Chains A and B, each alone.
Chain A
Amino acid sequence: MAALRLNLNGKEISSELSKLTRADIYGDSKTRVLGPNDEVLTKAGVSENGRDYLTRGDFKHALAIGEEFTLKPTQVVNALDGRPVEQVPSSFAVAPKFEPASADEVAQLEVDVVYRLNDAQLEAGSRFIGTFNYRAGYEKKDAVIIGKAEGAFLLVGTLKKASFVGMDVDSQLIAAEPAEEETGDGDFGSL
């Protein structure tokens, strides 16, 4: 993997990243489904006609507008004004800038991915906040860098800022709550 260049409060550092998962720290668990004679079984979806058993790879996703499928090129636009959005370059191409941050700011990050900065030497307890995009994309991802006795870590996710709530709570707050994603029967994600 290419080394990542970072600008930490005006000081440029360079380090290789290694992804750190929950399984690396606590271990992991996986489920197996066994049939008669301990044969490993494969999960499949039953199509609406009841005849086809669909496994991973049997289906693709196509774009449709209403009932009509389309092969027209797509465009990514701003959700509010509809203007085309420029791509955010990968942080490996453009060195991201990080500024010192308070513990309160850092605690607002809902973390998706954790990387260890293998070659970075940071003071234990130091905290920086900025953005980091592993790949080029259309939205910047929030990130913090934390210095610990065990090394330096890059945490990537989304900053979640809660708003203050009064007695007359805006019912839109609760109405806008999206359903939690579930993967169960009848869902392609479960295959």
Chain B
Amino acid sequence: MSAPALDALDALESESIHIFREVAGEFDRPVILFSGGKDSTLLVHLAVKAFAPAPVPFPLLHVDTGHNYPEVIDFRDRLVARLGLRLEVAHVQDWIDDGRLVERPDGTRNPLQTVPLLDSINEHRFDAVFGGGRRDEERARAKERIISLRDAFGRWDPRSQRPELWNLYNGRHAPGEHVRVFPISNWTELDVWRYIQREDVELPSIYYAHERPVFRRDGMWLAEGPWGGPRGSEALETKTVRYRTVGDGSCTGAVESAATSLDEIIAEVTASRLTERGATRADDRLSEAAMEDRKREGYF
């Protein structure tokens, strides 16, 4: 009997499930890095499908900048409760309070996530950390492996990556080292949205158009919040916006949009002339090699 051919989303889903199962089979203490954004929510959805009807055999880790959208925290807590998952939270604020980290002058906490992430990996002895990175996001990520070795300092060395052959993943590592795993490496932004629509995956409400008081900074619409804004001449105005990524509130911009449904979001993404990181993430615009630098030092 012949089986129906896989369409692109089926093929991507099967590849991601294969990666989750390989890591579950070969590592002792995996963890899913979870931000509440669409990519990490997709990871959780795929992990559930990989091990059904058994529960997901590893916890979630949220590195919490404290600069959150309440809708996202509410979504996170409901998701964890519904799926019976274990959630670890590393609060960046704790590292600032005890002096291990110092608040930056610009108030942005995205770059401060790296130390709490690495400390948590060491503390919990996580040996495989799933992330929602995709190779289509940014040039440095186009050369990232699906399973990527990190030393005890979490560093990525792009010059000495292991070749990744067929679908035979080599996750061998020494004590103190760990791997970062990117199960949706081969998905594009549009694949993610189409799959979310096909599978009816719930997302935080801030991905859909809503009214929000925002102010303009560096060409982006930033939300009012405890992270320092608006300042000086920056004027607050109410706009109909939505978010394309979920990050630290101080540097994640909203886009003006009337898209309230997945159909409208997909139409908008399809027609968009700006990549999601370029449009809405100040931290990636710092320098030409911004992402590569942050990856080298242990960020995803």
Are A and B a genuine interacting pair, yes or no? no
Q: B-side interface residues toward A, CB under 8 Å?
A: none
Question: A residues near B, CB below 8 A?
Answer: none
